Structure 1
Amino acid sequence: MTSPVPQPQYRWVIVTASALILAISMGAIVNGMSAFIVPMQDQFGWARGQIALINFAGIMGLAFGGLFMGPLSDRKGTRPVVIFGVTVLGLCYLAASLMSALWQFYLLFFVAGFFGAAAIFPPVMAAVGNWFFVGAGMAIGIASAGQALGQGGVPFVSSFLIKSFGISGAFGVTGVFMLATMLPLSLLLRQPPAANDAQRMASAAEENTLVPTNTVIVTMSAAIILCCTCMSTPLMHLVPLIQDRGFAASEAGSVIFVMLLVAIVGRLAFGKLADVIGALPAYMTATAWMTAMVFGFIYIDTLATFYVYAIIYGFGYAGVMTGVLVSLRMLTPPSRRASALGIVTMFGWFGHAIGGYQGGALYDLTGNYTAAYAVAAVAGVLNLIIVSTLLRKTRRAQVVAA
């Protein structure tokens, strides 16, 4: 979307820095543990469900921490909160290199999520939206694409780090890299300048805050917990599923890496689509795409087919998170945006944790991933039913207002 309304040039620095920070931090905390599942099972003898609980603990920390860090960012600004978060996250990964007991990993990753990742995701995503008076969909798509890059790149790189340095060494190298890269990037973050009248009017024309903010938060929270249960099952368990077919860890990691490279393009495309057809319709399109394809992974048994299917799936799945973030940008006022992001994404991370854990638990119970991927598909359908109610409310409110 092109507008004659002038916008600050520094907004693209914010987008770039945010995309890179999200790539590293969210790639590590959301599904970075996927590369460690089989190596930890082999080295420590832990069940996959037990190992998946490490990821569960980190995401639960991220979920609950967002309730505090989002409002804190609204009050104190983005930069100090994010600097704190990246420091905690990097130090936790360094500490993980010294751990050898399950309870230690559970506690450490909960701290990494609560004080680390939660101090990054809601403030950064709110900042990106607040720097754009118009065309926020594409900007959020770019920042979100950074997260997609990390969610593919971190497990891919981790598989090589584990092979070269072992489990402890991989955690240590990752922690050093986090501190060396994300701290300088965090210093680039700033608060947006005050908008003039023309900019406020342009921004208001893109927004739809006619539905009460609390209604938006409640409905999106209910929908996203189901959406992310669906999404996180292959994110966490595609690598071990491919390994179960007899392929090496590096080959399995390369499939999800390719999937999430394609997801970069998908997030950009769905960000633009949100600017064209509206945030909620774009979100529903991406969710329907993901839901229709997720169960198909269990029928694949060749590496070439995994690559092809992952590319197609990845493009559509990628638009889900972009759709959520743009929807909240368009449906909530700036004064409550980071807080709304903190609450809604809390339920999203609940879904991520549930999807990741149920995948491992049902595998341990049944000996395969069929039930886990079936649960993912059902969760996607229920999400579509719920979010469609919010779409009807927003359209009804627009008719009444007109």
Structure 2
Amino acid sequence: MTIRHASPDAIESPYAWARLFVSLLIMTIGSSGMYTITVVLPQIETEFSVSRGDASLPYMLTMIGFGLGSVLMGRFADMFGIFRTIIFGAVCLGGGYWMAGAAQSLLAFSIAQALLIGIGAAGSFTPLVADTSQWFYRRRGIAVAICMSGNYLAGTLWPPVVQHFIESAGWRLTYQGTGLFCLVSMLALSWMCRLRPPVSSTGLKTHSNGPIRRFAQEAASSNPARPLGFSPSALQALLCVAGVACCVAMAMPQVHIVAYCMDLGFGAARGAQMLSLMLGLGIISRLGSGWISDHIGGLRTLLLGSALQGLALCMFLAGNGLVSLYVISGMFGLFQGGIVPAYALVVREYFSPREAGARVGVVLMATLFGMALGGWMSGVIYDASGSYKAAFINGIGWNLLNASIMMMLIYRARRGLQRTEGLAQA
């Protein structure tokens, strides 16, 4: 089947918005692969007679598969388009659930989780983010934020649904039924995504009427062959370092808030409530930051999010009462939820759209690595110091690294625009 490109007029058209909400549904369904394993963990421990640590291995492998799959599926989407990528991801996801549900050993279960479910889930994440960014220009930020909210929605919706069916039908049938649902629904929804994005590489020509915001002029003045004066590989490496740094800082409260509450004598239940509050407000943050990025651009949105996240980490150091921790946890959720989507916007603003899928995948993989590194590092620091104070300070240090990179990139963007304007006047 020949997949044709849409016309430039399709950017921000009713079709683009309809496609966006289909992408939101696909991501919400496909991201189930990241959360079902956490619900079924006790059953895996019992089924295969393994320790809690061994039962946690499939989760780690799933996240590794998801991270590597983000790069692979992003490149696949660049080469073959999002339609074929969704189909491939749906087949991987459905087959992975079926094989995991039939697994007779922890090894077989882990392989299905890593190679099929992890990669299949990635097929409904990074490629959809990159694809969405190419259907919008003036409202690209809010569009990407809506799309990426599917990942958070999956974390909200799937665990209680999976737990209900585990209790009524057992984990094996639940897994296989989930796989069948994901396969059928994603294949059906994929038909809305048959058109490839418009060939136009920038929305400046398509939407030239009205004032062009300063950040858009900065992006337009940057040559994709030398974005912000760097080679594409060098700029991508800087974004990866920034992604690791911000997510190392982000991981401290997200991974350790429950343990922190237990250390303070508030109990695990309070910590779980704070984590739920944090993630729930993250959806609002993601949408709000998308709106902000449409007005100030991806780089400045990243700097704003980094600064506010650093402020919240400092507040964690100062406040250790129950009420104050609830308030700070909510603020942290509001501050950090929009950081990761902004990386996809920066990639779209400064790199060639033909490379969007692969480059977004690499940068988002770096953020996942940062979350993993930050969670582990905070535990090591706690073991060495006996408290979480040093771990919060470590997070603040990594956050400062992220903010420093963003300030440097913004400075180079402004200098590049000034140089372009000077040449135009000359």
TM over 0.5: yes
% same residue: 25
2:355 is equivalent to residue 350 of structure 1 = no
8 A Cα contact 2:130 2:356, kept in partner: yes
In 1, the alpha carbon distance for the partners of 2:350 and 2:201 equals 20
Aligned ranges 1:312-351 → 2 under 5 Å? 312-351=331-370
Task: Report deviation, 1:114.
Answer: 5.5
SS of the counterpart of 2:192?
coil
In 2, the alpha carbon distance for the partners of 1:242 and 1:177 equals 38
Q: Which amino acid aligns with 2:371?
A: H
**Which position in structure 2 is the counterpart of 1:150?**
154
Task: Report deviation, 1:264.
Answer: 1.9
In 2, the alpha carbon distance for the partners of 1:99 and 1:361 equals 34
In 2, the alpha carbon distance for the partners of 1:300 and 1:169 equals 44
Q: Which amino acid aligns with 1:56?
A: M
**Which position in structure 2 is the counterpart of 1:391?**
410
CA distance 1:98–1:306, change in 2 (3 Å): farther
TM, length-normalised to structure 1: 0.80
Task: Report deviation, 1:16.
Answer: 0.6
**Which position in structure 1 is the counterpart of 2:13?**
8
User: How many positions carry a matched residue from both structures?
Assistant: 394
CA distance 1:149–1:52, change in 2 (3 Å): same
140-149 vs 193-202, which moves further: 193-202
Task: Report deviation, 1:367.
Answer: 9.0
**Which position in structure 1 is the counterpart of 2:3?**
none
Aligned ranges 1:304-315 → 2 under 5 Å? 307-315=326-334
8 A Cα contact 2:45 2:52, kept in partner: yes
CA distance 1:141–1:375, change in 2 (3 Å): same
234-243 vs 110-119, which moves further: 234-243
In 1, the alpha carbon distance for the partners of 2:168 and 2:258 equals 19
**Which position in structure 1 is the counterpart of 2:113?**
109
CA distance 1:94–1:7, change in 2 (3 Å): same
2:294 is equivalent to residue 290 of structure 1 = no
Flag structure 1 segments of 5+ consecutive residues without an equivalent.
none
**Which position in structure 2 is the counterpart of 1:24?**
29
**What is the alpha-carbon root mean square deviation over aligned residues?**
3.9
8 A Cα contact 1:123 1:338, kept in partner: yes
In 1, the alpha carbon distance for the partners of 2:157 and 2:90 equals 18
Q: Which amino acid aligns with 1:8?
A: S
In 2, the alpha carbon distance for the partners of 1:374 and 1:159 equals 37
Bigger Rg, which one: 2
CA distance 1:79–1:370, change in 2 (3 Å): farther
Task: Report deviation, 1:314.
Answer: 1.3
In 2, the alpha carbon distance for the partners of 1:170 and 1:310 equals 33
Post-superposition Cα deviations, 1:297-346, rounded to whole Å, max 9, x if no partner, equal 997685x7665443322111111112112111212221221121122222
SS of the counterpart of 1:15?
helix
Task: Report deviation, 1:28.
Answer: 3.7
TM, length-normalised to structure 2: 0.76
Task: Report deviation, 1:199.
Answer: 5.1
CA distance 1:102–1:256, change in 2 (3 Å): farther
**Which position in structure 1 is the counterpart of 2:424?**
none
8 A Cα contact 1:266 1:316, kept in partner: yes
In 2, the alpha carbon distance for the partners of 1:265 and 1:167 equals 32
**Which position in structure 1 is the counterpart of 2:195?**
191
Aligned ranges 1:252-271 → 2 under 5 Å? 255-271=274-290
2:220 is equivalent to residue 201 of structure 1 = no
CA distance 1:45–1:366, change in 2 (3 Å): farther
Task: Report deviation, 1:46.
Answer: 2.9
Task: Report deviation, 1:105.
Answer: 4.5
Flag structure 2 segments of 5+ consecutive residues without an equivalent.
1-8, 422-426
8 A Cα contact 2:201 2:353, kept in partner: no
**Which position in structure 2 is the counterpart of 1:77?**
81
Post-superposition Cα deviations, 1:45-98, rounded to whole Å, max 9, x if no partner, equal 6355x5554333222222222333222211211011112112212332343334
